[in-house]
């Protein structure tokens, strides 16, 4: 039962990402990892850290294209699980209600698509799914969400890279 499709403003899909999952993490070690990744100019486009429960959990992503540089830092920690590749799908607008979250959970679960994580930003809800099934993720979402006719493209049309400033 899909119910009425919820009108949204658009969706954006990330480039393929590598997701790292660390439950019951060591906070100092995690801070050190983030410091080393930052020093290596490696961006973390998505970070979730939950210390509200008895067992803490951390999830963070890096661009799959640049993951080789990060892996030596991360592979030193046996408890960090690597899940790759994943895609971050941003659905706009968040709307500050639970309706959109419900539609996303329903869409993924009914299509047996794994949900690795979900988080809100100021404007959107971001869901992490399997990148190998990104088309299926979009298809599942669109069974529950309705795009406007003139919506923005799903895939980024440009990429930002850093340039050293002397």
Rounded CA-CA distance 152/164 in Å is: 31
67 binds other proteins (CB under 8 A): no
Q: CA dist 108 to 112, 115, 128, 157, Å? A: 6, 7, 10, 26
Nearest to other proteins of 149, 157 (CB atom): 157
131 close to 113: Cβ distance less than 8 angstroms: no
Binding mask 78-97 for other proteins (x = CB under 8 A): ---x------x-x---x-xx
User: Least distance from C-beta 113 to other proteins, angstroms?
Assistant: 11
Cα-trace Rg, the chain: 17
Binding mask 5-34 for other proteins (x = CB under 8 A): -x--------------x-x---x--xx--x
Rounded CA-CA distance 35/96 in Å is: 32
58 close to 119: Cβ distance less than 8 angstroms: no
With CB under 8 A as the contact rule, the residue among 13, 124, 130, 137 that binds other proteins is 124
Q: How many CA atoms are closer than 13 Å to the CA of 74, on its beta-carbon side?
A: 22
Contact window for other proteins (CB under 8 A) among 72-80, 118-126, 131-139, 147-155: 118-126
Residues at the interface with other proteins (CB under 8 A)? 1, 3, 6, 21, 23, 27, 30-31, 34-35, 37-38, 40-53, 57, 59-60, 81, 88, 90, 94, 96-99, 101-110, 114-126, 144, 157-163, 165
């Amino acid at each position: 039962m899909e119910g009425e499709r919820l009108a949204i403003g658009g969706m954006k899909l990330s480039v393929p990402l590598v997701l790292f999952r660390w439950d019951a993490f060591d906070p100092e070690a995690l801070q050190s990892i983030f410091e080393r990744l930052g020093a290596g100019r490696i961006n973390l486009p998505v970070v979730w850290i939950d210390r509200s429960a008895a067992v803490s959990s951390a999830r963070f992503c890096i661009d799959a294209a640049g993951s080789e540089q990060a892996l030596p830092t991360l592979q030193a920690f046996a408890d960090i699980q690597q899940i790759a590749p994943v895609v971050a799908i941003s659905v706009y607008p968040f709307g500050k209600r639970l309706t959109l979250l419900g539609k996303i959970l329903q869409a993924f679960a009914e299509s047996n698509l794994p949900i690795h994580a979900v988080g809100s930003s100021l404007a959107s809800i971001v869901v992490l799914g399997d990148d190998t099934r990104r088309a299926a993720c979009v298809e599942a979402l669109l069974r529950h969400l309705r795009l406007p006719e003139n919506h923005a493209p799903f895939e980024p049309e440009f990429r930002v890279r850093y340039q050293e400033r002397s």
